[in-house]
């Protein structure tokens, strides 16, 4: 599966490190992309984001994995309701892909419904798995990245 990691507030870099450490206990064969600095998409005016992608394997069902990701977000200070929903956040974890599955059972939707238009997700995912064919598209991650709308996505080192 593939998990998007991001955030853009004080403490995000630390939260990303904690999240990766936690994911290493949840996912087998964990690999993490480089960190990217990206422009915010939609929502109120806010600071740039730090984004990365992690891929690995798990025996957890998709719903249980999503619940674990949401608990991890909350434990690090993320609130997904109210005025803060689309504003700056310390940590955002999204289940992007779950093997070859296509799921549409809100709040669980995979592939992530906006994956195809988000260069800040496709660039780090292509770094790890360019040939992964995204379910429902018949297209590889690399070809989706080539077709994605232009956006600023700058390599920014690694998650410490």
As annotated, the active-site residues are: 78, 89, 92, 94
Q: Report d(CA 111, CA 102) in Å as an integer.
A: 6
Nearest to 6 by CA among 58, 45, 53: 53
Query: How far, in Å, CA of 98 to CA of 55, rounded?
Result: 10
Grouping H, G, I as helix, E, B as strand and the rest as coil, residue 118 is coil
3-state secondary structure of 51: strand
Q: Residue 153: name the closest of 84, 52, 17 by CA.
A: 52
Residue 159 CA: distances (Å) to CA of 50, 55, 63: 10, 14, 26
- The 3-class SS string of 63-79 reads HHHHHHHHHHHHHCCCC
């Amino acid at each position: 599966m593939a998990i998007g990691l991001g955030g853009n507030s004080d403490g995000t870099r630390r939260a990303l490190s904690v999240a990766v450490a936690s994911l290493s206990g949840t996912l087998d064969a964990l690999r993490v992309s480089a960190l990217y600095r990206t422009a915010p998409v939609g929502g109120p005016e806010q600071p740039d984001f730090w984004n990365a992608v992690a891929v690995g394997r798990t025996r957890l069902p998709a719903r249980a994995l999503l619940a674990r990701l949401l608990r991890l977000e909350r434990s690090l200070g993320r609130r997904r309701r109210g005025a803060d929903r689309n504003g700056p956040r310390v940590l955002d974890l999204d289940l992007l892909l779950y093997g070859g599955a296509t799921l549409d059972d809100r709040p669980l939707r995979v592939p992530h419904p906006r994956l195809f238009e988000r260069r800040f997700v496709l660039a780090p995912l292509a770094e790890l798995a360019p040939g992964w064919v995204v379910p429902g598209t018949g297209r590889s991650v690399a070809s989706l990245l080539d077709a994605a709308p232009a956006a600023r996505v700058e390599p920014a080192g690694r998650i410490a």
